[in-house]
Amino acid sequence: DAVRPLVRIVIVGHVDHGKSTLVGRLLHETGSLPEGKLEMLKAVSARRGMPFEWSFLLDALQTERDQGITIDTTQIRFRTPSRDVVLIDAPGHAEFLRNMITGASQADGAVLIIDALEGVRDQTRRHGYLLQLLGIKQVAVVVNKMDRVEFSAARFGDISNEITAHLTSLGITPTAVIPISAREGDGVAERTDNIAWYDGPTVVEAIDKLTPAQPLDALPLRLAVQAIYKFDDRRIVAGRIESGHLRAGDDIVIMPAGKIAKIKTVEGWPVTPLAGAFGAGRSVGITLDRELFVERGDVIGHAGNAPRDTRRLRARIFWLHDQPLTAGASVLVRLGTRETRANVVAIEKAVDPGDLASEAATEIKRNHVGEIDLSLSQPVAADPADNNPRTGRLVIEINGRIAGGGLVLSVDSGQRAAT
Ligand code: GDP
């Protein structure tokens, strides 16, 4: 059996355009529901005299997760013919935007949903912009509720042109634009007679063509230091491998200080030496061949391929706070495990993602996007997001709350450019 690629997707779009309904339908059509679940929910709806909604499935799964009945606590999974699909963050989830921005959710691809009767709305365009901001390039568009427009090919064509133009202006070429009725099932797993005029892929086929983003294992090593433990007389540097691999004997550089060392041992938990190489996603402890000052927030890379140290960076951010962000603002910036004060030197660009109108670059309003120049109160290790999606991400906090976040566009190289 060949390894089935795992793809992580998000389903975005204006509230009520049918995200939950599509997810319920997808779970059903791909045979991913527990035995009897659908029948049970239909019976409950009938007993209560209310029409069955596909979104009940999501609610039911959510309730089970909250009660700890199912093992997988955060994610909804289904299979297409050649892919294992993980749906990250159930639509409508209050933390959805925050999770997308902070990188808690990282998607390989997205489905953008549009109500055929309502058409492309500001929120639709904003979500398109967010996908671009987060570097999600594979986007399948679905035009839902085609039953409400009598499956009109003309109406579909208009919406398809409008959204394609918007996404193209952002640098995203939709992988498909698909007419569907999530509620009735047309276009989800089958090209029904209602959409006989359409000859592109179904939603299941479009998802089946998504490819996993570049594996983090293939990038240079980045170990984000979380803590230093003393064990016996040894000092163990604990952290998470954000990208790349490490093993005992590797020559490393600790950034931003630029100190050089060799990994003596890689430790598991409870502390026991481990043999072999460890890759992205693993949390490990390492011991070094010499006594060096290492602290939470440092990033370890291989000698010759370490992140830059910098006190100045440019970022493209999405702003969530009620209070607009202005030049001169003092904020807290989180980059991986590092946390530092920073000053907003300049707002270089401000855009309303609803209509893509550029605004006077003096402030970035809530739900708007902008580019900023940040001066940090201490040197940090960072990569541009183009080079590393994990270490090239930052979050901005005000008074302990997430106020915005996004991608590192460029870093001003410090004196200790990666050795
Ligand atoms: P969400 O807020 O995007 O998750 O939207 P929901 O999935 O909750 O759907 C909102 C409403 O639209 C519900 O009442 C659904 O029954 C309805 N709906 C969803 N898909 C369709 C469809 O294909 N056709 C019609 N007529 N209604 C739909």
Per-residue pLDDT of the chain (419 residues; tens, 9 = 90+): 567 888 999 898 888 999 999 999 999 999 988 888 889 889 989 999 999 998 888 877 777 666 655 444 456 889 999 999 988 865 555 566 676 676 656 788 999 999 999 999 988 998 888 888 878 889 999 999 999 999 999 999 999 999 999 999 989 999 999 999 999 999 999 999 999 999 999 999 999 999 987 788 899 999 999 999 988 888 999 999 999 999 999 999 999 999 999 999 999 777 788 889 999 988 999 999 999 999 999 999 999 999 989 999 999 998 989 999 999 999 999 999 999 999 999 999 998 877 767 777 889 999 888 999 999 999 999 999 889 988 999 999 999 888 999 899 999 865 554 44
How far, in Å, from the CA of 86 to the mean position of ligand 1? 21
Question: In this structure, which residue's CA is closest to atom 16 in ligand 1?
Answer: 53
Q: How far apart are CA 343 and CA 356, in angstroms?
A: 27
Which residue has the CA at smallest separation from atom 6 of ligand 1?
Answer: 18
Q: Are 172 and 132 in contact (CB under 8 A)?
A: yes
Handedness of CA 173, 176, 179, 180 (dihedral sign): negative
Q: Is 194 in the pocket of ligand 1 (CB under 6 A)?
A: no
Nearest C-alpha to atom 17 of ligand 1 is from which residue? Answer: 18
Torsion of CA 339, 343, 349, 352, to 10 degrees: 60
Alpha helix ranges (H) inside 249-329? none
Q: Please list the residues that pair with 138 across neighbouring strands.
A: 109
Summary count for the chain: helices (H), strands (E)? 7, 24
Q: What is the pLDDT of residue 71?
A: 42
**Chain CA centroid to CA 44, Å:** 35
Q: CA 365, CA 126: separation in Å to the nearest integer?
A: 13
Q: HEC states along 364-406?
A: ECCCCEEEEEEEEEEEEEECCCCCCCCCCEEEEEECCEEEEEE
Q: Cα–Cα–Cα angle for 128, 129, 134, nearest 5°? A: 100
pLDDT of residue 66: 62
Residues 81 and 8: beta-carbon distance below 8 Å: no
Q: How many CA atoms lie within 13 A of 263 on its CB side?
A: 30
User: Are the beta carbons of 223 and 240 closer than 8 angstroms?
Assistant: yes
Identify which of 8, 368, 3 has the alpha carbon closest to the alpha carbon of residue 216.
8
Cα–Cα dist 60/416, whole Å: 54
> Buried b vs exposed e over 307-342: b needs ≥16 C-beta within 10 Å?
bbbbbbbbbbbbbbbeebbeeebebbbbbbbbebeb
DSSP 276: S
SS3 102: helix
Is the CB of 181 within 6 Å of ligand 1? yes
Ligand 1 within 6 A of CB of 92: yes
Q: Is the peptide bond before 270 cis (omega within 30 degrees of 0)?
A: yes
Q: How far is the CA of 193 from the centre of ligand 1 (A)?
A: 21
Q: Are 228 and 296 in contact (CB under 8 A)?
A: yes
pLDDT reported for residue 94? 54
Distance CA 66, CA 70 (A): 9
pTM equals 0.79
Q: Which helix (H) or strand (E) holds 25?
A: helix 19-29
- Does ligand 1 come within 6 angstroms of the Cβ of 144? yes
Backbone angles phi, psi at 311, to 5 degrees: -120, 5
CA of 321 to the centre of ligand 1 (A): 30
Q: Determine if ligand 1 sits within 6 Å of the CB of residue 145.
A: yes
CA distance 366 to 404: 9
Residue 330 is predicted with a pLDDT of 96
**pLDDT of 345:** 96
Classify the complex by whether its ipTM is higher than 0.85, answering yes or no.
yes
Which ligand 1 atom sits nearest the alpha carbon of residue 21? 7
What distance in Å separates the CA atoms of residue 13 and residue 107, rounded to the nearest whole number? 15
Which whole-number Å values give the CA distances from 115 to 17, 56, 59, 148, in the listed order? 5, 19, 21, 9
Ligand 1 pocket, residue 252 CB under 6 Å:
no
Provide the pLDDT for residue 72.
46
Neighbours of 389 (CB within 10 A): 20
Q: Is the shortest distance between the CB of 118 and ligand 1 below 6 Å?
A: no
397: exposed, middle or buried (Cβ count in 10 Å: 0-12, 13-18, 19+): middle
Q: Is 183 in the pocket of ligand 1 (CB under 6 A)?
A: yes
Question: Which residue CA neighbors atom 9 of ligand 1 most closely?
Answer: 18
Peptide bond preceding 256 in cis form (omega within 30 of 0): yes
- Token code pair at residue 97: 């935007």
Residue nearest atom 10 of ligand 1, based on CA coordinates? 16
Pocket test for ligand 1, best of 12, 14, 16, 118 (most atoms within 8 A of CB): 16
Sign of the alpha-carbon torsion through 36, 42, 45, 46: negative
**CA 349 – ligand 1 centroid, Å:** 36
Q: How far is the CA of 57 from the centre of ligand 1 (A)?
A: 13
Tokens of 419: 């050795």
